[in-house]
């Protein structure tokens, strides 16, 4: 049964050209990767582009994955570099762009269920803390996997997560600390 295979087994099948395992791998990893990007860029269009670019880069680098090693840190390291490259490109293009005319204000959104907007709350966090929090809580990665994906120590990941929790607690209480 392919959907229940471990990710590492699916990746090994992908490396060997197994179409069914490749499809299963993409189906399993795309939703958490998309949520990772959406939490970082807060634009569905950019998140879609980043997800597609990540799969292209995974395809190009699939031979570098070592079977038997955890897959998520390898995948999220690639995704993280894609996001950083996107950020750098956007800074360069913003420096060259000149606004010709202002866009009209978007219509106000319909009232939603009570509770804070997750994107707005996450936007209050520094980028490194938001990245760690999304990997831990949205993608369900372990501390060790996040440390590998971000090229940092487990202690650094714990510290960023702790600081993110404190900041979120302050934002949710309303004092913004």
d(CA 73, CA 139): 11
Domains of the chain from N-terminus onward:
1-94 (1.10.1740.10), 117-177 (1.10.10.10)
Rg (CA), the chain: 18
Structure tokens belonging to residue 43:
């634009």
Q: Is 17 exposed, middle or buried (0-12, 13-18, 19+ CB in 10 A)?
A: exposed
SS3 4: coil
SS3 74: helix
Give pLDDT tens digits for 135-168. Answer: 888 888 899 989 998 899 999 999 999 999 998 8
Residue with the bigger pLDDT between 19 and 43: it is 19
């Amino acid at each position: 049964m392919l959907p229940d295979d471990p990710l590492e087994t699916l990746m090994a099948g992908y490396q060997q050209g197994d179409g069914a395992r490749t499809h299963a791998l993409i189906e399993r990893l795309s939703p958490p990767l998309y949520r990772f990007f959406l939490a970082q860029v807060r634009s569905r269009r950019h998140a879609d582009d980043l997800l597609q670019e990540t799969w292209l880069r995974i395809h190009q680098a699939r031979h570098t994955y070592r079977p038997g090693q955890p897959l998520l840190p390898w995948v999220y390291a690639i995704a993280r570099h894609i996001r950083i490259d996107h950020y750098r490109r956007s800074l360069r293009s913003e420096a060259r762009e000149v606004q010709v005319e202002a866009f009209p204000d978007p219509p106000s959104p319909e009232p939603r269920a009570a509770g804070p907007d997750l994107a707005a709350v996450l936007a209050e966090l520094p980028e490194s803390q938001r990245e760690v929090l999304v990997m831990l809580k949205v993608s369900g990665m372990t501390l060790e996997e996040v440390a590998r994906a971000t090229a940092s120590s487990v202690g650094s990941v714990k510290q960023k997560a702790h600081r993110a929790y404190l900041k979120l607690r302050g934002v949710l209480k309303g004092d913004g600390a």
